[in-house]
Every structure is written in structure tokens, then in C-alpha cells.
Amino acid sequence: MKVSGVSVKICAILVVVSMSCGSIHAGAQTGENTGAGAAAHRAAYSTSRLQNRPDSAVTRDVRNALGRTPNLDASGIRVRARLGVVTLTGWVPEPRQIALAGNTARSVRGVRSVTNQLTLRNSR
């Protein structure tokens, strides 16, 4: 049986396409997607995961993180969270602790942004 050059090229194209589809499907199954579409999917997934975290859990975790932070007096800090937006109010005894508290709160899982309204108050 004689095979023409055109049919060989068509077969080669079909093999390449089917292999590509298989690798895309396998990547989707294993979470190894690459490219812009995959990045958008990961961003949408991570955003929805963060938004679904209860405010009470975010508030609790921020309070715990503040309490564990070295060189931070968190006794005068109040924490409120709403849809991942954390608001810090109250006072700290040293100026550098204002930024330290804000950075600590930002590092907690589920925190989308921090509104830092802390003020300076001298300790007695």
C-alpha cells in the first residue's frame, strides 16, 4: 500500500494534536496547568478560598499572631475583620509597633488588606 505525503502529514498533525490534548487534560487533572488561563484559574481559586474564610477565624488568627509577635505589645490593639479586610484600632506604646502590627496582620492567611488605625500611647 502506497501512502501519499499529504496523508502522512495529516496523520502526523492528528498525532500531535491528540498528544497535546492529552497532556492538557493530564495537567488539569494533576493541577500542573501552565499559561495565562491556568494563572487566571489559580487566582480565581485562591481569591474565592480567601473570601470564604470566616471573619471570626481571620480575627482570631490575627489576634493570635499579634500576641506571638516579639517586641509587640498587643494589649491595646483591637482587631475587626470583614470579608478579609482587617481593621486594627487602639494603641501601641512605641511608634515602630504600628507598622509591625500592620505587617503581622497582613501575613495571616485570609487577610486581603489591613486598615491600620493604631495610635501611639506612652506606656506607664
Per-residue pLDDT tens digits for 41-60: 444 444 555 457 899 999 99
Domain limits for position 45: 5-51
pTM (2 decimals)?
Answer: 0.59
Residue 115 and residue 62 share a domain: yes
Residue 116 and residue 62 share a domain: yes
Distance (Å, whole) CA 100 – CA 40: 32
Distance (Å, whole) CA 26 – CA 29: 5
Which percentage of the chain shows pLDDT scores above 90? 55
* Tally of structural domains, the chain: 2
Confidence at residue 25, expressed as pLDDT on a 0 to 100 scale: 47
Residue 70 and residue 31 share a domain: no
Residue 110 and residue 71 share a domain: yes
For the range 48-56, what are the long-range contacts, defined as Cβ-Cβ under 8 Å and sequence gap of 24 or more?
Answer: 50/84, 50/109, 50/110, 50/112, 51/83, 51/84, 51/112, 53/84, 53/109, 53/110, 55/81, 55/82, 55/83, 56/81
Per-residue pLDDT tens digits for 96-113: 999 999 999 999 999 999
